[in-house]
Amino acid sequence: MANDFDDFLSSVKYLNKEDILDTAYKKHKLLDKYSSIYTTAQRTEFQQGISHLLYFLETGQRPAGISDLEFAKFKVFEKI
């Protein structure tokens, strides 16, 4: 599942902040719906990653409970 989130990050990292937020909110909402692609656990994990990204982009702060490895993935978004 981490690969899907990593792929998502790669697909939005060159967008401006507004577009990243729009895309992330849409993806988060889309993951609320059943999909044969993901199990419920996978969808939940993917949504959690997106939630952490949204929190970071909106507040500029590290989300609570995120690992150092996962947080390091957000470094590319610090300058936006």
Cβ proximity of 56 and 64 under 8 Å: no
Q: How confident is the model at residue 2 (pLDDT cuts 50, 70, 90)?
A: low
What is the mean predicted confidence (pLDDT) over 5-16? Answer: 96
Distance in Å from the first CA to the final CA of the chain: 26
pTM of the model: 0.91
Q: Output the six-digit token pair for 20.
A: 């990243």
Judged against a pLDDT cut of 60, whether residue 30 lies above it is answered with: yes
